Amino acid sequence: MRRSVQDNSFMVMVVLVTIAFIWLLLPFYGAVLWAAILALLFNPLQRWLVVRLKGRRNLAAALSLVACVCIVVIPGSLILASLAQEATALYNRLSRSQVDLVTIVEHIRDALPTYVVDMLGNFQLDSIEQVQARITSFVAQAAQMVASRALSIGQGTAQLFVSLGVMLYVLFFLFRDGSVIARIIRRASPLSDFHTDYVLRKFATVVKATVKGNVIIAILQGTIGGLAFWFLGIEAALLWGVLMAVLSLLPAIGSFLVWAPVAFYLLLTGEYVRGGILLAVGVFVISLIDNLLRPPLVGKDTRLPDYVVLVSTLGGISLLGINGFVIGPLIAALFFAVWSLFASQERLREAKQEERRKMDPIPIEPKQVERTGP
């Protein structure tokens, strides 16, 4: 009895200490998450360097860290800086009324069929004044949102650098001691060895597929879309390219939400050559990249239905910000993996019970002795 109480008390203590440790890491969960993601993605490089450097894991980890900084951190910082500069320039042009919205709306309205204009009248969008009022209201709300975002980014600059430092620091030790940490987790897991290995493998596979596959596809779609915008002389090409790359993480809709309205606007305003080129690039290049590259990059074993990816990605982003595009599909994939494993084990257990029942000898009932006479 005393032993049972001690064991239960110790388990309660383990759970409480674990919850407290997770709560302590919450301010930097994004840094730790991306350190783990980069460690998984660059793990082949780390193993190769360890072999080439004859087991000097510290030096191999340092070189792998430098590779991550050169391949991921520096290019990402440069793109973000250029994106912020271009977004600020576009916002300044809109706020100073350098873009003649009334003329643009008139061109679109004149190019639309009569029944479409009548349909817009049901939404009070059939006159230039009404459309201008809606656009002005939208620009004012966007300006307020941009101002608040800029203020929050300025206030969080120090936090951003601290998180980046924590990520690089943790990443170095994950490179150096990743295999040891994995063995510790495997031994300390309360699950069976089979379940622990299955969950860890699934986690690594889904993270690699989500980040490597989706990010490569997003970069390609955003790059092609941005280059097409730049070639056609559309302003803020980098901004629209990055927006297409971000939206391409969402299946079904993706970058279509960016290039399609621009292509239709060009066609409606009489820019048939530019609009036709952008429409052809969008349909035959950007849209086909996902169908052609996603199966070999992501793989069939980790492929989730598009509606699950869409809902889990949107839910993850709404709850966790930019980190949600990884965490959302990861949770969804683990959910399906764990439940499929549970269902397969239940079917195996039922099959074994049925086989055992068939192999058991059939009980023979004792014969009843007929009684004759009194």
Q: For residue 35, what are the contacts with CB-CB under 8 A and spacing of at least 6?
A: 166, 167, 168, 170, 171, 174
Q: What is the pLDDT of residue 131?
A: 56
**pLDDT tens-digit series, residues 79-126:** 777 766 766 666 666 666 545 555 655 666 665 556 555 555 555 555
Structure tokens at 336: 């399906």
| Residue 365 DSSP symbol | P
Instruction: Kindly tell me if the per-residue pLDDT of 6 is higher than 60.
Output: yes
Domain range summary for the chain, segments of one domain joined by +: 190-355
pLDDT above 80 (res 41)? yes
Residue 150 has pLDDT above 70, yes or no: no
Of the pLDDT bands very low, low, confident and very high (cuts 50, 70, 90), residue 77 is: confident
What is the distance between the alpha carbons of residues 357 and 50, in angstroms, rounded to a whole number?
Answer: 54
- Residues whose CB falls within 8 Å of the CB of residue 21, separated by 6 or more in sequence, listed in order: none
Both tokens of residue 254?
Answer: 């993706």
Number of neighbours of residue 9 by Cβ within 10 angstroms: 10
Phi, psi of 371 (to 5 degrees): -95, 125
Amino acid 66: pLDDT: 92
- What is the overall mean pLDDT for the chain? 75
Q: What is the pLDDT of residue 133?
A: 60
Average pLDDT over residues 218-228: 87
Task: Give the count of alpha carbons within 13 A of 73, CB side only.
Answer: 19
What pTM did the predictor assign? Answer: 0.68
What six digits make up the tokens of 112? Answer: 């639309």
pLDDT in tens, 254-299: 778 888 888 887 877 778 888 889 888 888 888 888 777 766 666 5
- CA torsion sign for 184, 189, 195, 199 is negative
